[in-house]
Structure 1
Amino acid sequence: MSVKGLNQLKVFLKKNYINIILLVTIVVGLVSTYTVAMSNVVTIKAKVVNVRTGPMLSYNVMAQLKEGDQIQILEQKNGWDKIRLDGDKIGWVADWLLDSSEIDSATNATGVVNTSGVNIREYANTQSKVLNRLEKGTKVNIVYTKGDWSQITMDGKIGWINNKLFDLTNDEQEKAQTKVYVLRPTINLYQEANPNSHVLATSKQDDQLEVVGSVGDFYQVKNGKNIIGYVSRQLVTTEIPNTGAEQAQEAARPRSLAKATIVIDAGHGGDDPGAQANDNRHYEKNFSLLYAKELRDQLQTKGTKVVMIRNKDSWVSLEDRVKITNKNQPSAFISLHLDSSKSANEASGITTYYYSEKKDLKLAKTLASQFNGLKIPNRNTNFGNFEVIRENDYPGVLLEIGYINSDSDFAQIRSDSYRQQFISRVVLGLESYFK
């Protein structure tokens, strides 16, 4: 380079020193951010991995991952990885399954113990605690395998057994049968795992179906006429219907708010902010708590016994929310939330979610009927597979008060007068429910 060219370069660098430094900083930051983001991305090596609604085997399967799928791990907890699926759905996978082959429990693979005095262990190693001993010929249900070990279920308990100590059987007569029961008045059995496919048959509420397999969000089932088809997992339950218990629960329902116990659940909290308003400054957790406190105050003036899941900005796990609810044996359970759509101002309305038609629907309909005429439109009732209403044993609903990322809804939600009006409608609905 000539002396003149070198001098020109020096002048350019001197004039643009700050810009160059900023550009380098931005590039380095972007690379670092990308590296951090990608550091939690893993590729599934197993043939199939179940994604569950929570970090335990007892949670329902909500989806399945296949070999080659890429997922981003958001959080790790007790050997489970929290991941994000398409459509912003959150699920959990067992981290030990990411590079092994899982046998879906819905296939009910059966093993027969081939040696006497076989130890069932707490973990997949010979040093872990012995949970039980099995004799030769004992049948066990194989959940999945990890290297030389398999996890089994037997008599409702879970443990590990070395693969050398049992033999798999393909005899259909020896496979443990899983039963599910219809939750809705009627449901369709589809030819394929797709609600748009041909309907083979219908089943009525409480009908018993035999599970023979699963595909994604569908069970493959056989009905009493030996017709095999697919049903949505959300429309059936493994719980055996107990009409007598339900009648007793109805008879025990108090006939006034003054004699009722209400558990109020303010959604989210603590490190879990929930949905966010369009101004990026207001969060669902704060408003769910405001509405929960308003409901508490109005109910207490009626003489109602109120149990609050949280009274402050604190995090409570979904599992603990259910435990608190069942421990207090409430007359009703109310979970308060704010909805959110993918795009700002895309949706509006109040939705009252229920899980069980027998347990929850009457309460849901009674409450939803009170929300007509408010400044936020009423979307009425809808089925919702939410843990806090799915797992609790008492009548409950999850109320989406409105859309936090709808400017029109949020203008009402943040108003003190609207909050008082909305909660007064909830109280009127509860009064009607307990008459």
Structure 2
Amino acid sequence: MSKKFFLLLFSIILIFGTFLPQGKGIASSGTITISSEMVNVRSGPGLSYPLVLTAKRGEKYSIVKETGDWIEIKLSLDQTGWVVNWLVTKDNETNPGQAAASTGKNIAKANTDQLRIRSGPGADFPIVGFLNEGQEVSILDQNENWYKITSAFGEGWVIREFLDVLTVKSPSISSNNLKAGTVTADTINVREEPSASSSVIGKLTNGTNVTIISKQNSWLQISFSSLKGWVKAEFIETKAETSKDSPKNSTTGNYGTVTAESLSVRSGSSLNAAIIGSVLKGQRFAILEENNNWAKVEYESGSFGWVSGWYLEKTAQAPAKRSTKESTVTILHNGTNIRKQAKAQSNVVALANEGDTFTVKSIVNDWYEIELKNGGSGYVAGWIVSSNGSNAQIQKSGAESYLKNKTIVIDPGHGGGDNGTTGANGTLEKELTLRTAKLLYSKLSAAGANVYLTRSSDSFITLPSRVYAATANDADAFVSLHYDSSLDRSARGMTGYYYYNYQKGLADSLYTSTIAQTNLGGRGVRFGDFHVIRENSQKAALIELGYLSNPQEELTLNSGAFQENAASGLYDGLARYFKNN
């Protein structure tokens, strides 16, 4: 009996062995490491596929297979996802003679003319330059809707749809690229990674000379004695920057008049150079030197610095005065609202399309009064048109000035085993709150704020830990993001919550700005007994950004347009709050 049993068992094993996978066509063929700050992992090889999760820098995943520019990675025992190959580094790929630690930069080309480059990822950020169709740039970072790029003008952000990704270039690191630098701050932290949340591995004091190894976004990798790590670029002065700042008696023969309300003066001809002063709209300077789109001026007696040439009206002599009637504005977007009064809440009296031109009658704050084709007049926001003639281009008031150096903790609700609510069509609240939080994080970071996320991945964080993030960092504002649900599937709209009276101002500002930006229905600002605001000693608010239980509103909340507008609204709300407090 036992002999027959073993023969039967052996036969079964042979049969099953015949049908087991023999090749490695879809098996793991190595691993990848996420090399960008945050990378979207999608359910298929394309941007149109749903978002599965967001991976962060340094995370490693096994490769399943590759299709074109996309890599399928293993997320868990029974789940896979797809990432674009230029945002990851293959751990099993090394080229002969190339350092294993070298990383590549993705190269892209503008697919439209006069593509606006902004100082941050959002339409509210100032324009710092333009790209012409076909012009190539390097991609430094990305979020859902924007690419951070660098080219001859410096660094900036552009809308993703207007760049075509080309190839990956991996420059080798040579000793010829090393530069000397000097610490300019009293004390700076040296961190393990190029991130403000990374571990501090040492400190350097003012005047310390260091060797600059490489640069990544606004961080420098430096070495000093046996210490090697990352520091903020604004606190290091290079010899090249110092030489650029030496006064020159000669001029270019041109003059420049400042057209922005306030324009930063920098130590070098780059957005990465330290801000050393500012000049105001209407001030006029002799241009001493020009480099790309930057102009060197004597902004104070004996003090020299660089300003962006995009905000200078250049002339060979003093500009002659012209009446406003000689000036016109051109509409930049289809469906632009022309309003009865110079404010966003005023009634719309007409609509205009891209390319329409109107004569300027007067300027009221940040609005142009224009002459309509029917002989009447109306007002258009100055930052959504281009100005032609003697009037300076109006820029939307710089929210960055109110956010710079503020400490803000963003709390994406739920996470890990806590899904939050589930939408009518299956949307998980925990995924949507993180998506919104990361877009807001990008905008606030670009404005110079110190930003912390209570979670940056699909992880469970206790309520006391979320509150501790606010107190430990002495936050100027704590913003908890959520999406709502109700048994009544017709319920819709946004709600703001506070617990203490001193939190109401923040909740009001966030709610009002986000409602205005998204045009979503509003349910008001009210008292809410939620742990993260009740137990919080900092200025804190909780925002429910809409109802996932409403099938129609769920589709809106999932759209890229809503996510961008919601993040912009929250950003503006924080800026407005700090401006008034």
Work out which structure has the larger RCO, using CA pairs closer than 8 Å and 6 or more positions apart in sequence: 1
TM bucket (normalised to shorter chain) is: 0.3 to 0.5
Q: TM-score, normalised by structure 1?
A: 0.40
The structure carrying a bigger strand percent of its residues is 2
